[in-house]
Amino acid sequence: MSKQSELARNALILTFGKICTQFVSFLLLPLYTALLKPVEYGIVDLFNTYITLLIPIFNWQFENGLFRFMLDYRGNNEKQKELFSTVLSTNFIQVIFYILIYLIVSPFIHSEFKIYLALDVVINILLNTLLQFPRGLGRNDIYSFASFLSASLTVVLNVVFIAGFRWGAYGLFNATLLAKVLTCIYLCFVTKIWKYYSIKFINKETFKDVFKYSLPLVPNNLSWWVVGASDRTIVSRFISVTANGMYSVANKFSSVYITFYNVFNLSWTESVSLHLLDNDGEDFIEDTLNTLFRIFSCLCVLMIVFMPFIFPIMINKQYFDAYYQIPILMIAVLFQVVVGLYSAIYVALKKSVEIAKTSFGAAIINLVVDIVLIKLIGLYAASISTLVAYMVMAIYRYYDLKKYVTIILDKKIIADTIIIFTTSLISYYLNIFALNILILVIAIVYSIMINKSFLKSICRTIMIKIKNK
Range of the domain at 259: 220-469
Cα separation of 74 and 137, whole Å? 7
* DSSP per-residue string spanning 274-294: HHTTSTTHHHHHHHHHHHHHH
Query: End-to-end distance of the chain based on CA atoms, in angstroms?
Result: 19
Report pLDDT for 134.
92
HEC letters along 349-397: CCCHHHHHHHHHHHHHHHHHHHHHHHHHHCCHHHHHHHHHHHHHHHHHH
Q: Please say if the pLDDT value at position 374 is more than 60.
A: yes
Three-state secondary-structure class, residue 228:
helix
Residue 365 in any domain: the answer is yes
Domain count along the chain:
1
- Phi, then psi, of 28 in degrees rounded to 5: -85, -5
Contact yes or no for 210/87 (Cβ under 8 A): yes
Residue 446 in any domain: the answer is yes
Lowest mean pLDDT among 212-226, 268-282, 326-340: 268-282
Report pLDDT for 345.
84
Residue 340 in any domain: the answer is yes
- pTM check: above 0.85: no
Cα separation of 145 and 260, whole Å? 16
Q: Please say if the pLDDT value at position 182 is more than 70.
A: yes
pLDDT tens, residue by residue, 78-107: 999 999 999 999 999 999 999 999 999 999
Q: What percent of the chain has pLDDT over 70?
A: 90
- In whole angstroms, how far apart are CA 252 and each of 33, 66, 256? 12, 30, 6
Residue 405 in any domain: the answer is yes
Residue 78 in any domain: the answer is no
Residue 1 in any domain: the answer is no
Cα separation of 213 and 358, whole Å? 16
pLDDT band at 122, cuts 50/70/90? very high
- Any residues with CB less than 8 A from the CB of 460 and at least 6 apart, and which? none
pLDDT band at 368, cuts 50/70/90? very high
Residue 163 in any domain: the answer is no
Cα separation of 12 and 263, whole Å? 9
pLDDT band at 243, cuts 50/70/90? confident
What would you measure as the largest C-alpha separation in the chain, in angstroms? 70
Contact yes or no for 329/299 (Cβ under 8 A): no
Residue 391 in any domain: the answer is yes
